[in-house]
Amino acid sequence: MVKKKDVPDLTLVDLPGFIRIAVEDQPRHIYRDILELVKKYIKPEETIILNVVASWAELQMCESFDVSRPFNDLSTTRSNISSNLGRRTIVVITKCDQRPEDVVAKVSGRSINVGLGFVCVRNRIDDETYAEARKKEASLFETDPMLSKLDKSMVGIPVLANKLMEVQAKMIAMCLPNIMRKVSERLHGLIPELAKLPRTLASVSDARGVLIEMVGSIKDTLQNLIIRGEYGEYEEDMKMHGDARGKWDTATSVRASFRISPTAPEKAKQHFGIAMSFINEVWGCLETICIKVFEDRCKHYRQLLPALKASAQRVLEETKEKFKERAAEMIEMEQGTDYTCDPNHATCLQKLLENRDMFVNAIQTRKSSINMPSEVQKPLEINIEGYGSIDIKHLVCIDESLREQAFDMKMRITAYWEVVVNRMVGWAALQLRFMIRKMVIKELPREISKEMMANDAQVEKMIAEPPSVAAEREALQRSIKLLQESKEVLQNAIESGEVSQTTLDPD
């Protein structure tokens, strides 16, 4: 590192020379390793490439020129591309005191196009101090018959130092607008991040205000998810959707055997277990949604989650028990009374009874073919639209009047059961929606407020900011302050159009 007061810092990297054959303990692929290392350092646009060559070296044959050439973007034609070293290259000719005539030839020749020109220097010899070396170098370029002909703007270590500083200053000036843009983008990204953090709470009253906002946010989110079906930020999270997870398969229950079968009230009783299972599934889904919303809305106040979850579970359990009681009453009501005013019931029953003749004919046909060979016997089942398949094998030997009574009863039960199923499903849907809506809008916010507001200890937990949040806030504030200061410095530099052009002091 080269540092001095009022002078831009310089970082100089002394890269190794190219070695094609490894010796002793050197890596086997040493040439490839050195080549990759050199390319890594010379690739950045802000890098100045110093091609250092001895005074007697043939420039066209220097491998370092070939390596650096692709990283320079000075416009070239196909005819001179091989000799073009680009806008980021300075050729430093060393040991000028040993071959002065070659130095002059190289500098005055046109075989190499160097973007930033040549600088000729004398190397420090043996135990010379830097001051002594500078004096001898100045004397060399003033008194040597050949070297004294060179322009003073291309000889000496001080000239090289000033040239490096000037080039760096120009590059900085070119980069300032882009740096300014990146600083602004980063600053605009961090400010919203800081705004997302919870504000610092100084008192219980501040904490209560934040708690009220939090409860309102939870209520609105649950309304959108559960009642309105608006999923918003949870659009891709299927666990947060309030859609039904399953359905009742009533087809199996209405397609029972035509043997002795239960009445509609008895069927309703049999489905009590299915109803309870459905209720448990729905409430499990609601609990999952509530807990996820609590975690998201209280992510900066994790210390409140246990109390919030406990409040939600109490309300959910109470609402579930109420719904179970009403569902049990509904099923009990269906068991105690057979009634309907649904006009579709008569239509459905009439359609089923129209199959009586087909039923009687099928039994008579089956009865007449009993003694025939099995391959010509009539089918053992018939299919009735709206009911399903009926096994008639066992009905052949039953009294005709009893068969007709059984058919009539079965069709009436089937028609009425359709009414019962629709009535129970409709009631369950309306009751479920009503109770969930009431729970989300009234009971849950009230229970949370009661639990939190009545307990100052819970509210006081919000005042103590979690260490993780405090650390994040401090880091963001520190970054924002630094970026704002940097932006101000850059803005002043751009507006003034000044980038330090200070010349290095030879001393």
- Please write the tens of the pLDDT for every residue from 273-322: 777 888 888 888 888 888 888 888 887 777 788 888 888 889 999 999 99
Residue 251 has pLDDT above 60, yes or no: no
Which pLDDT does position 189 carry in this prediction?
92
pLDDT, tens digit (0-9, with 9 covering 90-100), for 496-506:
765 544 433 44
Is the pLDDT reported for residue 402 higher than 80?
Answer: yes
Q: Measuring CA to CA, which residue among 90, 94, 141 is closest to residue 122?
A: 94
The mean per-residue pLDDT over the stretch 33-52 comes to: 83
Neighbours of 442 (CB within 10 A): 12
The span from the CA of 357 to the CA of 109, in Å, is: 119
Residue 166 has pLDDT above 70, yes or no: yes
Q: How confident is the model at residue 85 (pLDDT cuts 50, 70, 90)?
A: low
Question: Rounded to whole angstroms, how far apart are CA atoms 308 and 290?
Answer: 10
Instruction: Read off the tokens for 197.
Output: 């953090």
Number of C-beta neighbours around residue 75 at 10 A: 7
Phi-psi region of 396 (alpha: psi -120 to 50; beta: other; left: phi over 0): alpha
Decide yes or no: CATH 1.20.120 for domain 204-463. yes
DSSP H or E run through 299: none
Contact (Cβ atoms closer than 8 angstroms) between residue 115 and residue 85: yes
Between CA 3 and CA 418 the distance in angstroms is 92
List the structure tokens of 26: 């050197």
The DSSP secondary-structure symbol of 54 reads: E
pLDDT of 248 over the 60 cut: no
Determine the pLDDT at residue 55. Answer: 87
pLDDT greater than 90 at residue 484: yes
DSSP, collapsed to helix, strand or coil, labels residue 4 as strand
Element spanning 5, H or E: none
pLDDT in the model for residue 371: 61
Q: Is the pLDDT of residue 242 over 60?
A: no
Mean pLDDT value across residues 388-400:
80
For residues 151-171, give the mean pLDDT. 86
The candidate with the shortest Cα–Cα distance to 201, out of 210, 193, 213, is 210
Q: Residue 240 gets which letter from DSSP?
A: G
User: How does the average pLDDT of the chain come out, rounded?
Assistant: 78
Q: Which of 16-30, 350-364, 390-404, 468-482 is predicted with the least confidence, judged by mean pLDDT?
A: 16-30
| Percent above pLDDT 70 for the chain | 82
**Highest mean pLDDT pick, 104-108, 270-274, 352-356, 480-484:** 480-484
Mean pLDDT, range 33-58, rounded to an integer = 84
CA dihedral (357, 360, 361, 362) in degrees, to 10, reads 120
* Residue 137: both structure tokens together: 């170098």
Q: Which whole number is the average pLDDT over 140-151? A: 90
Of the listed ranges 110-124, 217-231, 404-418, the least confidently predicted one is: 110-124
**Cβ burial, residue 114 (10 Å; 0-12/13-18/19+):** buried
Q: Which of 199, 461, 467 is nearest to 304 (CA)?
A: 461
120/93 Cα distance (integer angstroms): 5
Nearest to 349 by CA among 296, 272, 415: 415
**The token pair that represents 248 in the structure block:** 């009742």
Return the pLDDT at 11: 67
Q: Are 382 and 359 in contact (CB under 8 A)?
A: yes
Dump pLDDT digits (tens) for 308-341.
888 888 999 999 999 989 888 888 888 777 888 8
Domain boundaries, the chain: 2-175, 204-463
Residues ≥6 apart with Cβ < 8 Å to 491: 180
pLDDT for position 96: 92
- What are the C-alpha distances in Å from 29 to residues 17, 34, 36, 63, 101? 14, 9, 11, 17, 38
Alpha carbon distance, N-terminus to C-terminus of the chain: 17
**Environment class of residue 43 by beta-carbon count within 10 Å: exposed (0-12), middle (13-18) or buried (19+)?**
exposed
Architecture of domain 2-175: 3-Layer(aba) Sandwich (3.40)
pLDDT at 185 (0 to 100)? 93
Do domains 2-175 and 204-463 share one topology? The answer is no
The whole-angstrom distance between residue 473's C-alpha and the CA centroid of its chain comes to 22
Listed as own residue / partner, the contacts of 17-20 with beta carbons closer than 8 Å and 24 or more positions apart are: 18/63, 18/64
| Core vs surface per residue 397-422: b (16+ CB within 10 A) or e | eeeeeebeebbeebbbbbbbbbbbbe
Structure confidence at residue 373 as a pLDDT band (50, 70, 90): low
Given a cut of 70, whether residue 10 has pLDDT beyond it is: no
